[in-house]
Structure 1
C-alpha cells in the first residue's frame, strides 16, 4: 500500500467515538477511512496477546462480570498477566463510557485478542472493499514491570507478538512502537539478523529530546513519535535530516492538527480521526 502524504492514525481505534481498543473502535475507524490503526498489546497469564492499553482492568470504564463497576482501589489487582484471557473477556469495557470522551458511544464490548482483532479487520477490509491499512502496534512494556505485569523477558513478549502478527498480515504493513527502548532494540536486532521480517520501528517519547533519545536507543528508528506539544518546526526538520518520519501523539483538537501539519510532521495519532479526515480527505 502506498502511504499517503499525511498519515492519520486512529488512536486505540478511535477512542473519542467508540470504546478504546475494541473491535467496535477498529471497525468505526475503518469505516471512517483511517490509514493506520493504532493499538496497544499486553500478555495474559495463558500467554495470549490481548489488546489493552493498561496491563490491568481499568476502573475508568470497566465493569465486573457481575455488573458492578471496577473501582480504582482494586484495578491494579486485576493484573492481566495474572488472568487468563477467558477471565479477562468477561469484563465489559464499553457500557459505562469514558467521562473524558463524552462523544464515545456506550456499548457492550470487551478486550479482544490481537489475533481476533487482526482477523476481524482483515476480513472486514476484504468484505467492504476498503483500502489496506497499516497497524501501529504499541508493546506496553516498562522495565519496572518485567515479570510483574508482563513477561520477565522482552524476548518472550516480542516473540508472542511477532508470531501472532505473522499469521495475519505482512510486516510491510506493521509498525512496532514502544516507550521501552529495550523492546525496540531487541526488535531491531532480530530484523538485522533476519529472524524477524522487516517492519517499521517507532520510538515513542514523552519529553526527551531527539539526541538523548537516539543515544539511548542506539540506532535511528524509522519514526520518532513524541508528545505533540514538545514539537517545533526545527525539531521536525532535525528528525527529517536524520531520516526519521515524525508522527506525534495524541492530537485531538483541530487547531493542533493544523499546527502539526504546518510544522512539517508526516502525520498524527488522534482519538478523533473523523476530525482529521475532514481536514485533509
Structure 2
C-alpha cells in the first residue's frame, strides 16, 4: 500500500480531470523555465542597425556588446531545417545570389528550398538601392560580404564557442495565416514547433529559450509539446507593422485566425488578458500600443512585458518609467547606454577574438565605436 499510494492518487486526480472536463493543456505551467536575472536587453535580429541582420555576425556583435537576449526569426526549409531569416522570401534589400547580384523580388522562397540551396546566398551587405529600408537601417550597418543565412543550430553553437552560458535566445516562429500573402507555403504549426523543440532539446537550451510568435497557434502547440519552454505572445494592431489585415480583429465578429481561436472581444479588446489566456509568460506588443495600465495588468497576471522595436533613447526612457521588463532594439548600443545611465545592470560583454564572426566592438565614454578587422574604424 505504501508503495502504491502515489500512483493511486495520480490516477484519481487524472480521473477527476477527465470527469470534470478540464483541459490539462490549457493549465498554465507553474513557472517559466527561463530565469531573467537582469533587465531583458534584446538585440533585434542581432542588432540590424549595426550588423547584417539575423546572422552569426550580428549575434556575435550583440554578445560582445553585452546583451541579455539574442532576438531572431525562424523559417523552415523544404528539407525541414530551421534557418534564421525574417522574410520567408529572400529580400532584394538584403540578399545577393551566387552571381553577386541582388536577387529579384518574390523569386526565392526559403520554405520551398533545401538548406544547401539557401546557403548559396550572401546576406552580408544591405542594398543601397533599397531606399527607405536602407536609409532606416543600412547607413550605420557594417557590411560583411560573404555572410550566409545561419541555422538555429549554428546560433547555439556560436554562443557555445563564445563560452556564453547565460545569453537567452528569443526565437520567433515566422508562421502565417490566411489571408496573409505568405500563408501559402507556411509550415504546419505543430510540425514547425516539433522541429524547434527537437533542436532546443538537442542543445539543452530549454532554460535559455523563449518562443515568440504573432501566430499564437505555435505557442499553443509548444505548450502541448513542451510546457517548460517560455512563451512570448507578439502582438500589434497597426497594419503597417503587424500581419496582413487587422490582426486582433477588435469589434469584428469571430476570432482572429492569428490568435489560436481566441476572440479578443471576449476580453473587451484587452490583448494582455488574451495573451494570458493563450498561456503566454510574456507579452510583447509594438511599443506605441503600450500603457502604464497594461504594464501593471500584465504584472498582476504574473506576466512580463517586453515591447518592440524601440530605437529612440527618449522612448526607451519613457518605457523604463512605465516599468517594462525588457526592450527590443535595432540599435542595441543606444539601449545599452540608456540602461547604464539609468543604473540598470547589464551583462558583461562576451568576446571571442578567434571567432570568424568577431568584427570588434568597443564602448567608449558614452559612444559606441565599431572596429573592423585590420584596425579600421567606422562611427
Larger Rg: 2
1:143 matched to which residue of 2?
177
- Report the 3-state secondary structure (helix = DSSP H, G, I; strand = E; otherwise coil) of the residue aligned with 1:87: helix
CA distance in 1, matches of 2:280, 2:43: 21
2:56 to 23, 27, 43: 23
Match of 2:66 in 1: 33
| 2:242 pairs with 1:183 | no
The alignment partner of 2:171 has SS state of strand
Residue 270 of structure 1: which of 302, 320, 329 is its match?
329
Deviation at 1:60, TM superposition (A): 1.0
Q: Name the counterpart of 1:87.
A: 117
CA shift digits 1:218-246 (9 cap, x unpaired): 43411010000011111111111111100
Aligned-residue offset at 1:181: 1.0
What CA deviation, in whole Å up to 9, does each residue of 1:87-106 have, x standing for no partner? Answer: 11111112235612110111
Query: Which string of whole-angstrom CA distances, capped at 9 and with x for unpartnered residues, describes residues 156-187 of structure 1?
Result: 11111111121113311110000001111111
Q: 1:113: which partner in 2? A: 151
Superposition deviation, residue 2 in structure 1: 5.5
- How far is the alpha carbon of 1:3 from its aligned partner? 2.4
Q: Which residue of 2 aligns with 1:244?
A: 303
Query: Does structure 2 retain, via aligned residues, the 8 Å contact 1:185–1:217?
Result: no
TM-score (norm: length of structure 2): 0.67
| Contact persistence 1:220–1:242 (CA under 8 A) | no
RMSD: 2.0
**Count of aligned positions:** 268
Match of 1:62 among 87, 95, 100: 95
The answer to whether the aligner puts 1:170 opposite 2:205 as a matched pair is yes
Counterpart CA distance in 1 for 2:100 and 2:126 is 10
Cα distance between partner residues in 1 of 2:160 and 2:283: 27
- Give the conservation status (yes or no) of the 8 Å contact 2:233–2:280: yes
**Length-normalised TM-score, structure 1:** 0.89
1:27 and 1:4, CA in 2 relative to 1: closer, same or farther beyond 3 A?
same
Offset at residue 276 of structure 1 (A): 1.1
Paired residues of 1:9 and 1:270 also in contact (CA < 8 A)? yes
Q: Secondary structure in 2 aligned to 1:12?
A: helix
Structure 1's unaligned 5+ residue stretches are 191-195
* Matching of residues 3-18 of structure 1 within 5 Å: 3-18=36-51
Structure 2 unmatched ranges of 5 or more: 1-33, 128-132, 238-247, 251-263, 341-379
Q: Secondary structure at the match of 1:45?
A: coil
Counterpart of 1:166 in 2: which secondary structure? helix
CA distance in 2, matches of 1:244, 1:30: 26
**Does the C-alpha gap of structure 1 residues 263 and 86 become closer, same or farther in structure 2, counting only changes over 3 Å?**
same
CA distance in structure 2 between the partners assigned to 1:255 and 1:273 by the alignment: 14
Contact 2:77 2:112 in 1 (8 A): yes
Q: Given that residues 92 and 110 in structure 1 are in contact (C-alpha distance below 8 angstroms), is that contact kept between their aligned partners in structure 2?
A: yes
2-side partners of 1:93 and 1:10: how far apart? 18
